[in-house]
Amino acid sequence: MNFADRLARARAATAAAGLDALLIGSGADLRYLTGYPGHGAERITCLVLPAAGDPVLVVPKLERPAALASPLGGLGLDVLDWADGEDPYALVAKQLPRQAGRVAVDDYMHAVKVLGLRAALPDAEQELAGPVLGPLRERKAPDEVGALRAAGAAIDRVHERMAEWLRPGRTEREVGRDVAEAILAEGHASVDFTIVASGPNGASPHHEVSDRVIGTDEPVVVDIGGTTADGYCSDSTRTYVLGEPPAEFAAYYPVLQAAQQAAVAAVRPGVPAESVDAAARDAIAAAGYGEAFLHRTGHGIGVLTHEEPYIVGGNTRPLEPGMAFSVEPGIYLAGRHGARIEDIVVVTDTGVERLNRTSRNLRKL
C-alpha cells in the first residue's frame, strides 16, 4: 500500500477544501492514511495533516512502539508522544499552523476527544473530514482491489466449509463459534461478525447468534466477515436449508436470486448508485415481496465493512471504477423465515467484478 501517496493526496484535498488541517484519530481513516490503526481507548492519538507542511502523529507514550512498528514507522513522520498527566490536546494544537481557522476531524472520533480539541482550539471552526477523505477512500486503487479480492476468497472458503458445522440439533451460538474460528484459520486477522439466523430468526437482518437449536427443514441465513492483516474487510451472505425448504420459502428464494443477479448486472461506470438498488427492489416488488425487503441493497467496503458508497434510493452519486460495495437484497417474513444473498463487487472500467465466487443457489445441507 502506498501510504505516502495517500497522505499527499489527502493533503491536496485538504487544501482544495480550504481547510487548514485534518485531525485524524484512531480508526479507519488513520489506518487508511498511514497503515497504523491506533488504539481506540480513552487516550487520544491524533494525526495532524496540515494543508501545507509535514504531517505529525501525536501518540500516547505507551503506544509509540506500536506506531513505529507499523507501516507508519517507514513514512518518516515526526512522532510526538505524551505521557499520562500531560495535556495532549495542547500538544496537538501546537502542531497546527498559526491562526488555523478551519480544521476537520475524522467522522468517528470520540465526542470527548472532539470537545477536547475544541477547547484547545477555541478560534478554529471544526468540520467533518468525511467530505475530504471519503472520495479518496471510496475509489479503490489496484492494490486495494487485490486486498479485497483476497479477503473475499478467504470468506468464500469459510462458506464452502459450512456443512462441517451447520446441522440440526446444534445451537446458532455453537455454529457461530466454529465459524469464527474458521474465519481466522482461512486468512483473516480478526472476526468482525458472525450471523447465524435459523428459522424465524432469519427474518431479522441483523440477528447475530442465540441459543436457539437449529431444526430440520429450516432455512438458515449465514452472514459473516472479518478483517485481513492488511486491513481490508470481507462480508458475504449465503442462505442454507437443513433438509427440504418450506414451500413458501422455496417460492420466494428464486425471486431473491434473480433480484441479486439483476442488481449486479446493473453495476457499471456512470450509473447512479440508486439504480442498482432499484434493480433489486423492483424485481422483488414485482413478485409481491416489496414490503419484505427491509434495507438498502448495499454498502461500500474497504478498511471498514460499511463505508461510502451506499447503494440506496436517493443516492444519485455516479458509480466510478474502483468503487467496491455489497449487493445484498433480502426477503424477510416476520415470525417465519428469511433469506439474503450478498456478494462484494467492484466497478471496473467496463462493468463489474464479483469478489465472492461461491454458488448463490440455495444450498441444502
Q: Do the first three CATH levels of 3-136 and 139-364 match, i.e. the same topology?
A: no
| pTM of the predicted protein model | 0.92
Query: CB of 207 within 8 A of CB of 233?
Result: no
Query: CB of 142 within 8 A of CB of 61?
Result: no
pLDDT tens column, 67-121:
999 999 999 999 999 999 999 999 999 999 877 889 999 999 999 999 999 999 9
How deeply is 159 buried, as exposed, middle or buried, from its count of CB atoms within 10 A (0-12, 13-18, 19+)?
buried
> Would you kindly state where each structural domain of the chain is located, as residue ranges?
3-136, 139-364
Average pLDDT in the chain: 96
Separation CA 279–CA 345 (nearest Å): 15
pLDDT tens column, 6-33:
999 999 999 999 999 999 999 999 999 9
Three-state secondary structure call for residue 194: strand
Separation CA 336–CA 27 (nearest Å): 39
pLDDT band at 348; cut points 50, 70, 90: very high
> ∠ CA(307), CA(252), CA(153), 5° rounding?
40
pLDDT band at 285; cut points 50, 70, 90: very high
Reading the block at residue 132, the C-alpha cell is: 475530504
Mention the CATH class of domain 139-364: alpha beta
CATH number of 3-136: 3.40.350.10
Per-residue confidence (pLDDT) for residue 97, from 0 to 100 = 82
Q: State the DSSP code for 318.
A: B
pLDDT band at 1; cut points 50, 70, 90: confident
